[in-house]
Amino acid sequence: MEYSAHQIASLINGEIIGDPQVTVNNLSKIEEGAPGTLSFLGNPKYEDYIYNTLASVVIVNKDFIPKNQVEATLIKVDDAYKAFAKLLEAYNTKTNGLHGIEQPCHIAPTATIGNNSALAAFVYVSHRAKIGKNCKIYSNVSIGNDVIIGNDVIIHPGVKIYQKCVIGDRTIIHSNAVIGSDGFGFTKNDDGSYAKVAQIGNVVIEEDVEIGANTTIDSATLGSTYIRKGAKLDNLIQIAHNVDIGEYTAIAAQVGISGSTKIGKRCTIAGQVGIVGHVEIADDITIGAQSGVTRSFTTPGITILGGPAYELNESKKIFIATRRLPDMMDKLRLLEKEMKELKAQLGK
């Protein structure tokens, strides 16, 4: 489908500089712009590309003032990146549409599916599962007994949702994520072998959450593992049993969080962080990449870093001291040598 600059500007409340009737039928990066495409300039370091891009329409910030002539039609908005993201979402919805219930699917007689929800082929919906309105569930998704899925949920191919889990409105779950698998619960027998502890709880994912591909969220031993409203989880994350992730917290890839840990609201956890079990992280804390969190941090708003993790200023001191260790060792060896020479002179 083609859209004019005028139509696009009306969608994002933008001001047109150039030809309002020029049309686009695709999207492009500004450095790879082609005729008939829409692009955006959000980062000033890419400004040079706008003077040579072949894109027909470019979304820019209102404060952008060209240094040279720009051939493309410009649409000025308050925030070019946010405006382009809005258009990307609309484009994605149109190009990845799913309608009706494809066959073969298995839907248990006791399951219910809300109005305007769509299921791709090979979806399995088990007993007493409830799927809300306007959901899109793609192929090879498995939904267990008594699962409750809210409205406007998108579940991508290969996702597995175990029994009794709850998925909130407008949640997005990406391919091959596993929701509600058994927590890592075992007791050690006298002979050194392990006996499994049944994990009879569930996972509760609140509204507006996004779960990345191949992320695993374990069921609680008792009660629930919680992913609170608006949280964003990247790919390849492990959330253990009875963990509680606070509202609007963002977690990058390859993070592992051990059981019964509580993460506060609006926290940012960078890649490859490991957090031990039964600790508490206060609201608005940032955890630097590859940190190992071995204790609770209860002061809101701080940044922690390192392995083991310390508050940022303390971590910097440790880092600086570590960098000085080779020089300190050289000085120590010199002192030892001088001490030996001095003892020899004193006949000791």
Q: What is the 3-state secondary structure (H, E, C) of the chain?
A: CCEEHHHHHHHHCCEEECCCCCEECEECCHHHCCCCEEEEECCHHHHHHHCCCCCCEEEEECCCCCCCCCCCEEEEECCHHHHHHHHHHHHHHHHCCCCCECCCCEECCCCEECCCCEECCCCEECCCCEECCCCEECCCCEECCCCEECCCCEECCCCEECCCCEECCCCEECCCCEEEECCCCEEECCCCCEEECCCCCEEEECCCCEECCCCEEECCCCCEEEECCCCEECCCCEECCCCEECCCCEECCCCEECCCCEECCCCEECCCCEECCCCEECCCCEECCCCEECCCECCCCCEEECCCCEEHHHHHHHHHHHHCHHHHHHHHHHHHHHHHHHHHHCCC
Catalytic hit among 99, 106, 156, 241: 241
Q: Is 99 a catalytic residue?
A: no
The residues carrying an active-site annotation are 241
